[in-house]
Amino acid sequence: MRTLAIANMEVGSVWMRLVRVRGGAPSVFLMKPSAVSSSSKTTRTIRYKNHLSTFFPSSNPPPITFLSPVSPTRRPLSTATCSPQIPLATIEDYCSDAGGGDNINVLPKKGSRVLLKGMSFTELQQWVRSHAFRPGQALMLWKRLYGDDIWAHCTDELEGLNKDFKKMLSEHAEFRALSLKDILTSSDGTRKILFMLDDGLVIETVVIPCNRGRTTVCVSSQVGCAMNCQFCYTGRMGLKRHLTAAEIVEQAVFARRLLSSEVGSITNVVFMGMGEPLHNVENVIKAANIMVHEQGLHFSPRKVTVSTSGLVPQLKQFLNESNCALAVSLNATTDEVRNWIMPINRKYKLGLLIETLREELHFKNNYKVLFEYVMLAGVNDSFDDAKRLIGLVQGIPCKINLISFNPHCGSQFTPTTDEKMIEFRNILAGAGCTVFLRLSRGDDQMAACGQLGNPGAIQAPLLRVPEKFQTAINASI
């Protein structure tokens, strides 16, 4: 078989190698862009015009084969189409990064436009290439979306970018996934930001300044929540829907854009707003990865914390796929109590949750899980609870946050007194646990832990109080 002609052809940013051989049908090979070097253009190079007829005038289009990069300087042209050593690749290989899953044909959309903040950096690069622009333009865009103190919301804020590139963005891309509805300021400086979604639903984000140079943004991952934790106001809403990765990421972008000049640099992200993050695990992992990208928002992975009520399979997935920190909302030391106040425990028992953490953390180096423990008067704050908690966390690299319960109209609990919280803390610390007291922030604007959301007329049910706790509950009513 003898090669008659060969050419490199560019379709958008996708290079094709076209080969015609004597005695055989013409063939087209789709290559990754990196496969085409300047030296390869020593062969006859043409731009894609008038479809394949530019090179193959035949009315029958040639078959297409997908190839991994092949360097023409290493392989004689006469064997480029018939060597059995050339590895075949799928279209998924072309469209995906090394980890897989980023497909330019399945991009986040807002109407007919692509949502920029819903794309990973790899997806953004591929999308930019598909519009015939250099990958370097993708990096410049990424930095203006997330870095350089720009946090761009429109093409007018994209200084330094190619004019034609900006025109393409204005025609095909959408910058914003959220609309600002209101900002409420608490007496302690905490801000609650209300965002309107495209479907009219509202989510809440909280920015918590700290006089130690750390400011935290608390982002939501769902509209409402399906877990129905009995102490949580968001749980009264039930689940309306998951948030997209773009809707999650933009909460952090908006927080920096709106409030950095007032509260200083926002250094930490916690997924502890509305919703159960690991119930929306794919979008949460993707959003967290965007937040920690070193050319973008550049949060430290150890300063991005994702909280869960204890969805065991998704917890495993998160620990395997993300380097961000994990918080587990524990809140009880027995199945009896946890079945009541956190119904997810009926599916994933306390023992299974704890044992899963022990097993999974063996594979993580220098990694500590954060246990959250909301203290409810007469329910989970006894000294026996403190001793059981010590036993539960033994052997698990961890920190413990004791959280003061924040009352709301959808709950029947009351907070543990400050004095008893300190005594509880001292028992844990005396056993060698690393433990902190987390006091309420923003509760006068319903911005504190467990107070977010607006349940409306139809609410998730309150569960039957176990008989042994009825006295404590009745005393709080």
| Higher-confidence position of 22 and 436 | 436
Q: Do 217 and 198 share a domain, yes or no?
A: yes
| Higher-confidence position of 269 and 86 | 269
Instruction: Quote the pLDDT of residue 110.
Output: 65
The whole-angstrom separation of Cα 475 and Cα 471 is: 6
Domain membership of residue 446 (yes or no) is yes
Q: Do 142 and 212 share a domain, yes or no?
A: no
Classify the C-alpha dihedral 336-342-344-349 as positive or negative: negative
The count of C-alpha atoms lying within 13 angstroms of the C-alpha of 26, restricted to the half-sphere facing its C-beta, is: 20
Q: Do 168 and 246 share a domain, yes or no?
A: no
Q: Do 136 and 211 share a domain, yes or no?
A: no
Which of 8-12, 33-37, 338-342 has maximum average pLDDT? Answer: 338-342
Average pLDDT, integer, range 338-346: 98
Can you tell me whether residue 107 is helix, strand or coil?
A: coil
Q: Look at phi and psi of residue 105 and say left if phi exceeds 0, alpha if psi is from -120 to 50, else beta.
A: alpha
Instruction: Quote the pLDDT of residue 41.
Output: 37
Can you tell me whether residue 330 is helix, strand or coil?
A: coil
Instruction: Quote the pLDDT of residue 474.
Output: 80
Listing from the earlier edge strand, what are the strands of the sheet with 202-208?
A: 179-185, 191-196, 202-208, 216-218, 268-271, 304-308, 325-329, 369-375, 398-404, 435-438
What is the C-alpha R_g of the chain?
Answer: 28
Q: Do 462 and 375 share a domain, yes or no?
A: yes
pLDDT at 16 over 50: no
Report the first-to-last Cα separation within the chain, whole angstroms. 90
Instruction: Provide the 10 A C-beta neighbour count for residue 98.
Output: 7
216 contacts 327 by C-beta, under 8 angstroms: no
297-311 per-position pLDDT tens digit: 999 999 999 999 999
Instruction: Quote the pLDDT of residue 458.
Output: 84
Average pLDDT, integer, range 245-266: 94
Average pLDDT, integer, range 258-279: 94
Pairing of strands 14-21, 44-47: unpaired
What's 307's DSSP letter? E
Domain membership of residue 47 (yes or no) is no
Measured at the CA of 378, the angle between CA 373 and CA 383, to 5 degrees, comes to: 65
For 94, list phi and psi in degrees, rounded to 5.
Answer: -70, -40
22-60 per-position pLDDT tens digit: 444 444 444 444 444 444 433 333 333 333 333 334 444
Q: What mean pLDDT value characterizes the chain?
A: 82
| Higher-confidence position of 162 and 95 | 162
Domain membership of residue 385 (yes or no) is yes
Q: Do 389 and 282 share a domain, yes or no?
A: yes
* H-state helical runs in 204-280: 245-263
Q: Look at phi and psi of residue 132 and say left if phi exceeds 0, alpha if psi is from -120 to 50, else beta.
A: left
pLDDT at 218 over 90: yes
Pick from 144, 174, 204: which residue ends a domain? 174
The count of C-alpha atoms lying within 13 angstroms of the C-alpha of 389, restricted to the half-sphere facing its C-beta, is: 34
42 contacts 71 by C-beta, under 8 angstroms: no
Average pLDDT, integer, range 168-189: 95
169 contacts 188 by C-beta, under 8 angstroms: no
Would you state the structure tokens that stand for residue 296, as one six-digit string? 């973008």
Would you state the structure tokens that stand for residue 143, as one six-digit string? 């930095």
Does the annotation count 372 as an active-site position? Answer: no
Instruction: Quote the pLDDT of residue 476.
Output: 66
pLDDT at 443 over 60: yes
Instruction: Quote the pLDDT of residue 4.
Output: 39
Q: Do 275 and 378 share a domain, yes or no?
A: yes
Q: Do 129 and 147 share a domain, yes or no?
A: yes
109 contacts 177 by C-beta, under 8 angstroms: no
Domain membership of residue 106 (yes or no) is no
The whole-angstrom separation of Cα 143 and Cα 151 is: 8
Average pLDDT, integer, range 451-455: 94
Domain membership of residue 434 (yes or no) is yes
- By residue range, what is the domain housing residue 455? 182-475
Domain membership of residue 33 (yes or no) is no
Give the pLDDT band of residue 353 (cuts 50, 70, 90): very high
Q: Do 156 and 224 share a domain, yes or no?
A: no
CATH number of residue 250's parent domain: 3.20.20.70
Average pLDDT, integer, range 202-229: 94
Q: Which residue's entry shows tokens 């569960």?
A: 463
Pick from 145, 174, 203: which residue ends a domain? 174
Does the annotation count 360 as an active-site position? Answer: no
Work out how many domains the chain is built from and give that number. 2
Which helix or strand (DSSP H or E) is residue 452 part of?
none
Domain membership of residue 6 (yes or no) is no
107 contacts 126 by C-beta, under 8 angstroms: no
Domain membership of residue 63 (yes or no) is no
Pick from 174, 193, 225: which residue ends a domain? 174
Q: Do 133 and 270 share a domain, yes or no?
A: no
Q: Do 123 and 268 share a domain, yes or no?
A: no
pLDDT at 65 over 50: no
Give the pLDDT band of residue 471 (cuts 50, 70, 90): confident
pLDDT at 293 over 50: yes
Measured at the CA of 363, the angle between CA 360 and CA 366, to 5 degrees, comes to: 105
Q: Do 287 and 195 share a domain, yes or no?
A: yes
pLDDT at 241 over 50: yes
Instruction: Quote the pLDDT of residue 457.
Output: 84
* H-state helical runs in 193-324: 245-263, 281-292, 312-321
The count of C-alpha atoms lying within 13 angstroms of the C-alpha of 267, restricted to the half-sphere facing its C-beta, is: 11
CATH number of residue 126's parent domain: 1.10.150.530
For 340, list phi and psi in degrees, rounded to 5.
Answer: -80, -55
Which helix or strand (DSSP H or E) is residue 128 part of?
helix 121-130
pLDDT at 344 over 70: yes
Average pLDDT, integer, range 190-212: 95
The whole-angstrom separation of Cα 314 and Cα 307 is: 12
84-140 per-position pLDDT tens digit: 332 322 223 322 333 333 343 457 766 679 999 999 999 999 999 999 999 999 999
User: Poorest-confidence range of 58-67, 248-257, 361-370, 375-384?
Assistant: 58-67
Which is catalytic among the residues 123, 204, 276, 360? 204
426 contacts 390 by C-beta, under 8 angstroms: no
